[in-house]
Amino acid sequence: MSRRLLPELAESLDQDELDELHDALFARNGEDGPLLDGLHGLVTAILVGPDKVPAEEWLPLVLNPEEPFGSHLEADHLTRLCLRLYHAVERGLEQLMYEPILSEYGEEGEEADVEVDARGWCAGFALGIDLRARLWEPRLRFDPRLTDLMAPIMALAFAEGLFEEFSDPRWPPLSDAEREACLQMIPSCVMDLQHYWREHPIEHGLVAPKPARQPRKRGGRWVH
């Protein structure tokens, strides 16, 4: 039996709604918390990962519970925007049409000077992994297949300075060409990770998730 969603939750967000969601996340979280690109990376990791993560668990990481809403209507509206983004990513993965939302820096109208920044998306993806870290980490440590699939995302995360407190000789600085190649590989990497966990699931009840860590500071605009 196929799952049925409320009509409004099944609709993808248009550009105005993406702008609205970004502005709302910035107002609630500032640059230290997930913005639109971070939310996109977070739900991507949840959807391709080894275990289901209920909305009640990941939504508080996005809609800062310590920042009060102006009204119940505002809380409901922002929650629905987040859930619609989640389901849009889910549909994209099912249809093999996934594209990440990444930050973009530069002057308006000057494409030659625009720089794409994957730090926010990678931070969100790392946060999604952390929600089920005790499922991900043993596999990443002992299964080279999963490590290889994660390589483009890990290389970008280190290159973007996401793990500044760590040094790892496996992830040296990237040249411009290498960085661009890793950016282009994100969609296929994400879909390969989803396939991996479907083909190599973990038995439930063996380990418990551990608390998530907060993503690193960054900001900017975004681009599909």
This prediction's pTM: 0.84
pLDDT above 50: residue 120: yes
- Give the contacts of 83 (CB within 8 A, at least 6 positions apart): 9, 55
Helix axes 36-48, 15-29, angle to 10 degrees: 100
CA distances, 131 to each of 47, 51, 71, 164, 211 (Å): 12, 10, 29, 21, 6
The whole-number pLDDT of residue 173 equals 85
What whole-number distance in Å separates Cα of residue 21 and Cα of residue 80? 10
The whole-number pLDDT of residue 185 equals 97
116 within 8 A of 223, measured Cβ to Cβ = yes
61 within 8 A of 124, measured Cβ to Cβ = no
SS3 104: strand
The whole-number pLDDT of residue 109 equals 57
pLDDT above 90: residue 1: no
The H-or-E segment that residue 163 falls in is none
**What's the fold here for domain 12-223?**
Four Helix Bundle (Hemerythrin (Met), subunit A) (1.20.120)
The whole-number pLDDT of residue 111 equals 54
The whole-number pLDDT of residue 209 equals 39
Q: How confident is the model at residue 205 (pLDDT cuts 50, 70, 90)?
A: very low
Q: In whole numbers, what is the pLDDT of the chain averaged over residues?
A: 85
* Annotated domain spans of the chain: 12-223
pLDDT tens column, 17-48: 999 999 999 999 988 889 999 999 999 999 99
pLDDT tens column, 64-90: 888 899 899 999 999 999 999 999 999
What whole-number distance in Å separates Cα of residue 131 and Cα of residue 74? 26
Which residue in this structure is represented by tokens 């991507």? 44
Q: How confident is the model at residue 207 (pLDDT cuts 50, 70, 90)?
A: very low
Which residue in this structure is represented by tokens 């418990």? 208
pLDDT above 60: residue 215: no
pLDDT above 60: residue 213: no
pLDDT tens column, 127-157: 999 999 999 999 999 999 999 999 999 999 9
pLDDT tens column, 153-194: 999 999 988 877 666 777 788 999 999 999 999 999 999 999
What whole-number distance in Å separates Cα of residue 109 and Cα of residue 106? 9
Rg (CA), the chain: 17
Percent with pLDDT over 90 in the chain: 66
Q: How confident is the model at residue 206 (pLDDT cuts 50, 70, 90)?
A: very low
